[in-house]
Structure 1
Amino acid sequence: MRRILRLLGAIVLVAVAAFALGTLVPRPLFGGAPDGASPRHILVFTNPIHTDIAVPIDDAVLQKFGFLLDAGIQADLPAARYLVFGWGSKAFYIGTPTWSELKPGPVFAALTLDNSVMHVDLAGDVDLPQPAVQRFELGEAGFAAMLDFIERSFVRDEGAVQRIFGVAYGEYDGFFDAHGKFNALAGCNTWTAAALREAGLTTGWWNPLPATLNFSLGLYNRSSDDPGGDQPGGVQP
């Protein structure tokens, strides 16, 4: 029994150390500041287990992600202000629209190894400040690099992205097959962190949870608040 308790204690200590180091050790170790002037901004949306990146919609972004329009995402709606991107476990993401629909199968898939999907949604104006949203200023080069990273996350077949029809959380969102395998160590929040590093921001070395990612972002980057309109989420055309 003592051996078992020592083993459990050691596992807990290793886990705590991993989370602490993953949060506090910056990635990249040196540099990572947004380039030059900051004419662009993005938002990071957070819930208890997941983070999304919201990209302001303009003509250049619509051209970059025109394949989403072709796939039925109405990013050109007049009320749409942001394209919202998230990456995650296919079974869990699609199978758990709300906590009340939580099932053992998708949870098991997310904790072991699962195929991945991109979730794309729209948001209108966003009121700031609010606890679940952070705003970051980016330079043009970092913004473009982050968009390239997001675009590369979509699986393509003969140039076309693969939308998963028949599944959505609402009227304006959709799911697409994505590159990479999802697991508990490399999940949705590590994808968000990687995208933000492409943008020139600094994250922790390993951020599997929204809380650790947000702490790292706050520790190594300066966020800003900007008055807006409605809460993040659905678009009201």
Structure 2
Amino acid sequence: MLHLVTLGWHVEVALPAHALQGTPLGAAMAPLFPQARHLMFGFGLRRYFAHPDPGLPELLSGLAPGPGAIRVIGLHRPPPELFGAGSVVALPVTEAGLADLARFLWDELDRDAHGRPRRVVTDPGVRGAFFEATARYDLGYTSNTWAVLALRQAGLPVDPAGVVLASQAVARARAAAARVA
């Protein structure tokens, strides 16, 4: 089971940690989140997303394109328990879909010459681990666009075209969940 989690204006994708076993992504994340049952991935504008306390200057910086970042958070309980059923869309996917999603997420991480994801240095108060993304953020390719693209990579019947807002991402995820149920 895959989950789309809405965090207000932003959505992220959570999948079971065991789905990443035996993958390069799993090997890179396991030491960072050894007790996690689920890993949640999100994309955003690096200078805003990885800021410990983003204010108006960081918010306004989102109007200009810039380097992206991928945030990973380890979850010890299922997303519906942590965020509430109203903030989570459960999406059934196949093992092949989870494998395709793991490849997509791995490909979205910029890596160094040794093949390791490049960490973004953050203040201690920032939740999760941040990594440099291969994609750039802009108003036409937001965190919400990225999350719906991730769902499509997992084999779900969603179209990321035109998705900018979290509400659009959630609506497409709910429609996809209804179609595959």
Please report the TM-score for the alignment, with normalisation by the length of structure 1: 0.67
User: Where do 5+ consecutive residues of structure 1 fail to align?
Assistant: 1-40, 225-237
Q: Distance in 2 between matches of 1:117 and 1:76?
A: 22
For residue 13 of structure 2, what is the aligned residue in structure 1?
A: 53
User: Where do 5+ consecutive residues of structure 2 fail to align?
Assistant: none
Asked whether 1:119 is paired with 2:77, we answer no
Q: Distance in 2 between matches of 1:197 and 1:167?
A: 33
Q: List per-residue Cα deviations over 1:166-188 (Å, max 9, x = no partner).
A: 43524xx2111111110112111
Matched residue SS, 2:13: strand
Please report the TM-score for the alignment, with normalisation by the length of structure 2: 0.86
Q: 1:109 aligns with which of 61, 65, 80?
A: 61
Q: Which entry has the higher C-alpha Rg, 1 or 2?
A: 1
Asked whether 1:160 is paired with 2:116, we answer yes
Q: CA deviation at 1:53?
A: 0.8
The correspondence of residues 143-222 of structure 1 with structure 2, limited to 5 A, is 143-158=98-113, 159-167=115-123, 169-170=126-127, 173-204=128-159, 205-222=161-178
Asked whether 1:133 is paired with 2:73, we answer no
Q: List per-residue Cα deviations over 1:38-85 (Å, max 9, x = no partner).
A: xxx111110221111111022x51432211245xx1x222xx210111
Q: CA deviation at 1:222?
A: 2.2
Superposed CA RMSD: 2.2
Q: Distance in 2 between matches of 1:167 and 1:203?
A: 35
Q: 8 Å contact 2:39–2:73 — kept in the other structure?
A: yes
Q: Distance in 2 between matches of 1:67 and 1:218?
A: 31
The correspondence of residues 6-85 of structure 1 with structure 2, limited to 5 A, is 41-58=1-18, 61-64=20-23, 65-70=26-31, 73=32, 75-77=33-35, 80-85=36-41
Q: CA deviation at 1:207?
A: 1.1
Q: CA deviation at 1:223?
A: 8.2
Q: Distance in 1 between matches of 2:39 and 2:122?
A: 20
